[in-house]
Chain A
Amino acid sequence: MGSDPPVTLITGARKGIGRFLAERLLARGERVAGISRSPTDLKHAHYQHFECDVADDQGVRGAIQAIRRGFGRLDNLVNNAGIASMNHALLTPAATVERVLRTNVVGAFVAARESAKLMRQGGGGRIVNFTTVAVPFALEGEAAYVASKAAVESLTRVLARELGPFGIRVNAVGPTPIDTDLTRAVPREKIEALLARQVLPRMGTPEDVAQVVDFFLSPASEFVTGQVIYLGGVR
Chain B
Amino acid sequence: MNDANPVLELVKRLTVEELSAQGLETPDGIGPETRLFGKDGLLDSMALVSLVMSLEQEIAEQFGTEIALADDKALSQKHSPFRTIGSLVAYANGEIEAARGK
What residues make up the interface of A, taking CB atoms closer than 8 Å to B?
Answer: 61, 65, 117, 120-121, 165-166
Contact = CB atoms under 8 A, between A and B. Distances in A.
Contacts of A165: 46
B12 to A, nearest CB: 20
Q: Which of B50, B53, B56 has the most CB of A within 10 A?
A: B53
Interface string B13-29: 00000000000000000
Contacts of A166: 50
Contact of A61 (B46, B53, B66): B66
Interface string B54-66: 0011001000001
A121 B57 CA distance: 10
Given A61-B66, A65-B60, A117 B53 contact: yes
Nearest to B46: A165
B57 A117 contact: yes
From DSSP, what is the main secondary structure of chain A's interface residues? helix
B68 to A, nearest CB: 8
The 6 closest A-B pairs by CB, nearest first: A165-B46, A117-B53, A61-B66, A120-B53, A117-B57, A65-B60
Contacts of A61: 66
Interface of B: 46, 50, 53, 56-57, 60, 66
A131 B98 CA distance: 39
Nearest to A165: B46
Given A117-B56, A120-B50, A120-B53, 8 more contacts: A61-B66, A65-B60, A65-B66, A117-B53, A117-B57, A121-B57, A165-B46, A166-B50
Contacts of A121: 57
Nearest to A57: B68
A65 to B, nearest CB: 7
Contacts of B57: 117, 121
A37 to B, nearest CB: 22
11 contacts: A61-B66, A65-B60, A65-B66, A117-B53, A117-B56, A117-B57, A120-B50, A120-B53, A121-B57, A165-B46, A166-B50
Nearest to B53: A117
B64 to A, nearest CB: 11
A166 B53 CA distance: 12
A120 B21 CA distance: 13
Contacts of A117: 53, 56-57
Nearest to A68: B57
Nearest to A121: B57
A61 B67 CA distance: 11
A120 B51 CA distance: 12
B65 to A, nearest CB: 12
A102 to B, nearest CB: 18
A117 B50 CA distance: 9
A121 B54 CA distance: 9
A89 B56 CA distance: 42
A65 B67 CA distance: 13
Contacts of B66: 61, 65
Contacts of A120: 50, 53
